[in-house]
Every structure is written in C-alpha cells, then in structure tokens.
Structure 1
Amino acid sequence: MVSFSRIALAAAAITGAAALPTNATDTEGLGLLVGRAGTPSSEGNHGGYFYSWWTDNAAQATYTNLNGGQYSLSWSGNNGNLVGGKGWNPGTASRNINYSGTYQPNGNSYLAIYGWTRNPLIEYYVVESYGSYNPSSAAQKKGTVNCNGANYDILETTRTNQPSIDGTKTFQQFWSVRNPKKQPGGQISGSVNFSCHVTAWRNVGMNLGSSHYYQIVATEGYKSSGSATITVS
C-alpha cells in the first residue's frame, strides 16, 4: 500500500475557528477537539498556522493544536487511518520548512511534508521518516535527488477513483522519500527546501498543479499506534 491518506474535507479553506462536527467540542485555548472516537475530522486556522486533521474513526486518536506551529497526536488500537498536522494554506512551491519534536510510531506511519495542488490535482509527500512501511516499495521510481544534504528517492503513483480534496477522483501522487530515513522513536528535527523537490520532480516530468491548497508537516498512521509532538516553522 503506497498511501493511506483519506482526506475528504471541504475544498475551501475555513477561516477563523474550525467548523466542528456535532459530536465535537472545542476546549478553548488548546484547540483540543473531543469526539466519540477521539478527535473528529476538522481543518482551519490555529495559532497563526493552518491545520488539517482527518480520521476514519476506526482508531482511538487524539489530535491537539498547541501554541503557534505546534501540534500533538496520539493514536492506538492498530486500526484505522488518520493524518494531521500544521502548516500553511495556501502552500507554495518555494517554502523552506522546519520541523522539530518527537515522533514515535509503532507500525505503519509517516512523518512528511504533505499537501495538494489543483490544475492538475496532485497529492504530494516529502517523507522524512516512517515506521514499518517504506512507501518506496510500491511506487514507480523516477530518480533521486540530494536536497538539504540528504538523498531522496523520487517516485510517482496513480490513485484511481480514490478520495481527494475534491471528492472521489483519479490523480497522481508525487513522492520524495528520504533514503535513509530519519530514525523514528524519539527526538527528530530537520529542514526541507521544498523548491528542491519541486525542481527534481519537474526534471523527471512530474509537474505540480498551478493552484496550491494546503501544505503541512503531517503525521500519518494506518492500522498502527504511536505519538508525535511536532513544531512547524
């Protein structure tokens, strides 16, 4: 399995407070949303950053927006699919992105720069670390690139009739997967010059869309457990 994200939130950005589902409450000052199966799906602005959080509610998962660019996430049960993090909306092809914190997955999980474009519809990942599953193992390798002193495998996959920011669509996924990965299990930090990856993708015929949607530092989990506390800048 190459990707386990199932983003199906509204296409338009939500400004101000997040629109909460009926089974959610917002703990003022913390951005903590509490629902029957953990934190319900939501997106919006918090602490000067955009956040996106999605879960299929099969796992017990708690996502919390902390001050500024920080968020925390814990999940358990070895079931379900979830992804969340903080960043910017809209994204851009030229942003330098910094992250730091702790990342402790048990099983299938990614820590990645994650986002979408339209025209065409593209889902992209710059994977800095991952748990037990290497996304390179089931994608078409297109080349390699050195960015910020690290080597990345460049890969592409096609998602056919799958959930996207615009409903069920067929679209391409672009990947840069750090090789070797940053080791999970504790403290983690790094910098990503996203324009380096955009140029590398373009050089092998992988062109992002002309319109950027959000761009976040995401923690993603699939039928696994773990925790992360990440600060984005």
Structure 2
Amino acid sequence: MRKEILKTGFVVALVLAVSAYAADACNDEMGHVGEGKKVIGTGSESVKGDVGNSGFQYELWHSEGSGSLTYYDNGTFSAEWSGSQDFIARVGLRYAESKNFDEFGNFSADFKFTKSGSADFSYIGIYGWTDNPRADYFILEDWFSEPNPEYLGEKKGEITVDGDTYDIYSFKQNKLYVQGDINYPTFYSVRRIPRQCGHIDITAHFKKWTELGLNLGKMNEVMMVAEAGNGSATIDFTYFNVTESEPSSPAPSSSSATPESSFAVPASDALVESSSSVTQELKPAAKSSESTTAMMQKVHISSSDRSLVVFDMQGRILGKLTVPAGMALNSAIFAKFGRPGIYMVQSDGVFKVLSVAK
C-alpha cells in the first residue's frame, strides 16, 4: 500500500508541474547549438543527410538560382535562396513507409523563426508525404506572400487547434513520380492568422483530414519546411523541435487512480527508486508541505543512465537520447535539445526529473 501511495504522489507531482514548466517556443530560448554546417544546393538534385546526432534529417532542393541550408547540432537551422523558381529546405523526421500515422503516438512540433526578403509564393510550416496511397501534405503557419487559393484546391472543412482556425483544402495534381505520371492529392491546413512561433499538434490535423475523407498512407516524413518561389530571402529557425511519441497503451484500471494523472506512467514498483532518501520525500501531493519543484529535485539522477527517452513537462516525448560515455546526463540533454529547463527522462521503466542549465 505504501508503494502505491508513493507512486500516486509522484505522478500528481509531475502533473502539477506541467503548467509551470511547459515548453514555450515563443518565450523560451533555444538558439543554435554547435558549429553550423552549410549545405549548398545543386540546382537540380536533392541533397539529403543527417543533422548531426540530433535524430533529425534534412533535405534541400531548388530549381535554378542559388540556395543553401545551414543546420546545427540541436536541429535548429537557417536557409537562404535567390532567383530560384522553387526552393525547398526542410528538417525533421523520416520514416520507412511501413506504418500509418495512427500506428504512432502523437506528432507535434515547436518552432520559432525570423524571416526577411520576398517571394512570389511560399509555404512555411509542416510538410511531409505518404505512400500507398501517395499524398503530400502541408500545415501552413506562415508565408512570405499569402497562398493563392487557386493552388490550394477545394475547401473541405476547417479545424480549430493551437489557438486559431485552419482552413482545410485538397488539391489534385499531376507530377512525375517514381511509377510515372500519376495523380495524387496534396492536403493543406492553412492557419488564418499567420505566426512565427508556437506549438503545432500535427496529429490533430491528420485525424481531421481522415475524418473529412482525406486519407494519408504510410508515413515517409514529418518535417518543418520553408518553400518559396522566386525572389531572394532568408529564414532562421532559432527554436525547432519535431517529436513523435510512442503509441500509448491502455492504463490498468484501479480504484485509486488519480483523475489528474493523464500522463501514462508504468504501474510498477520500479517507478519509485529504492533509495530511502527518495521515497521519504515522495508523499501524496495534497499532504506534502514541500513544493512540487522541491520534491522533483530530490529524485536522484544516475550518471549510469546511458540510453533514455526524454520528455517535456507536458508529457510529450522530445526524443530518444544515448548519452556518450563520460558525459553528464544534464550536459547530454542540453547538447541535444539546446535549452535549459525541467525535463523528465525514462530508463528501464523508471521516470526521473531533473533541471538542465546551460
């Protein structure tokens, strides 16, 4: 019984910390981490590669003119182009076309950028494509020039999420694809009030599109994109993260379940470490005289944790992290995610909380 109380108190402490430590791309600092690596476009073929050890990939393509992409160790990036009929720079997650979006957990992104210059057309936001069936998709957050409705296609509906309403369109186009000339659709969610920073619930759009009969196939990529045609411009993403949570499993039923505990934590004795100095502090939140932050900071972080899953305090998975031998866990988290703050880490079913500073 005591262990169950301790586990419940720990979960409540995590939930209460959400509002205080939620990631805020518009106000938190991330910045570029590490030395920038510049990739020059060829003007005809795509240039692809890994973004260091961040777990992200990049792709750069443009027709005519010039263009480049500069990426950093934590996944932040910038791009510039001039005189290109069509320029596309993107960074994010790439997959093997083996699963549909609903076989993953939840896709989301946090971003902040500045831009300058001009373009005849442009799309800034989330981009990706799927196969079987083939479909391209955009979640447009901003642009250099407002998208022309002629190229968005037929309006299918709308969705209100992340503080605004997005209009949903489907456009059927004919492009040269691997199997030859075939018709396939592009789905758009276009934010009514453009923005340069914030959080994107990507899966919410996927679900709404499916509800409207706009069907995605097997996932190939989920990336932050800057696409533009003609003109000369620059864009700089100083805060960037695209995440994919693992599929959730039903929580075991329990008469003692805490309603606020929406974050799924494994119900095992491994959740609470055996150290008496830790368990003595993990009391039910309602009866504890200490602050939630004080309780969390007493959770021991072992330097032997070499392979981890890292969460923000809203329970969103930020990514997997392998800690190099000899590097402190705090330093490894900052090196990958590029910002100070409160993080949760999971290793072998054990959840721990720590504060990361620069």
Q: TM-score range by the shorter chain?
A: 0.7 to 0.9
Instruction: Give TM-score, length-normalised by structure 2.
Output: 0.51
- Which amino acid counterpart does residue 141 of structure 1 have in structure 2? K
Choose from 67, 72, 78 the match for 1:66: 72
Choose from 119, 125, 132 the match for 1:119: 132
* Residue aligning to 1:86: 91
Number of equivalenced pairs: 195
Question: Matches of 1:164 and 1:129 in 2, distance apart?
Answer: 28
* Residue aligning to 2:58: 51
Question: Matches of 1:89 and 1:127 in 2, distance apart?
Answer: 19
* Residue aligning to 1:25: none
C-alpha RMSD of matched pairs (Å): 2.3
Secondary structure in structure 2 of the residue aligned to 1:131 = coil
Unaligned runs of 5+ in 2: 1-34, 242-358
Q: Kindly provide the CA deviation profile for residues 147-203 of structure 1, in whole angstroms up to 9, marking residues without a partner as x.
A: 11211000001011x145766432110110001222xxxxx2111101110111112
Q: Kindly provide the CA deviation profile for residues 11-39 of structure 1, in whole angstroms up to 9, marking residues without a partner as x.
A: xxxxxxxxxxxxxxxxxx643234676x9
Question: Matches of 1:146 and 1:217 in 2, distance apart?
Answer: 20
Question: Matches of 1:165 and 1:135 in 2, distance apart?
Answer: 28
Choose from 110, 127, 133 the match for 1:98: 110
Q: Which has the higher strand share?
A: 1
Map 1:1-233; keep pairs closer than 5 Å: 30-34=36-40, 41-47=46-52, 48=54, 49-56=56-63, 58-77=64-83, 79-90=84-95, 92=101, 94-107=106-119, 108-138=121-151, 139-160=153-174, 162-164=175-177, 168-182=181-195, 188-209=196-217, 211-230=218-237, 231-233=239-241
Question: Matches of 2:230 and 2:198 in 1, distance apart?
Answer: 26
Unaligned runs of 5+ in 1: 1-28, 183-187
Provide closer, same or farther for how the CA distance between residues 213 and 36 of structure 1 changes in structure 2, counting only shifts above 3 A: closer
Q: Larger Cα Rg: Structure 1 or Structure 2?
A: 2
Q: Which has the higher helix share?
A: 2
Q: Kindly provide the CA deviation profile for residues 123-170 of structure 1, in whole angstroms up to 9, marking residues without a partner as x.
A: 00000001224143431101111011211000001011x145766432
Task: Please tell me whether the aligned partners of residues 136 and 153 of structure 1 are also in contact (alpha carbons under 8 angstroms).
Answer: no
Question: Matches of 1:166 and 1:224 in 2, distance apart?
Answer: 33
- Which amino acid counterpart does residue 70 of structure 1 have in structure 2? T
Task: Please tell me whether the aligned partners of residues 106 and 132 of structure 1 are also in contact (alpha carbons under 8 angstroms).
Answer: yes
Identity of aligned residues (%): 24
Instruction: Give TM-score, length-normalised by structure 1.
Output: 0.76
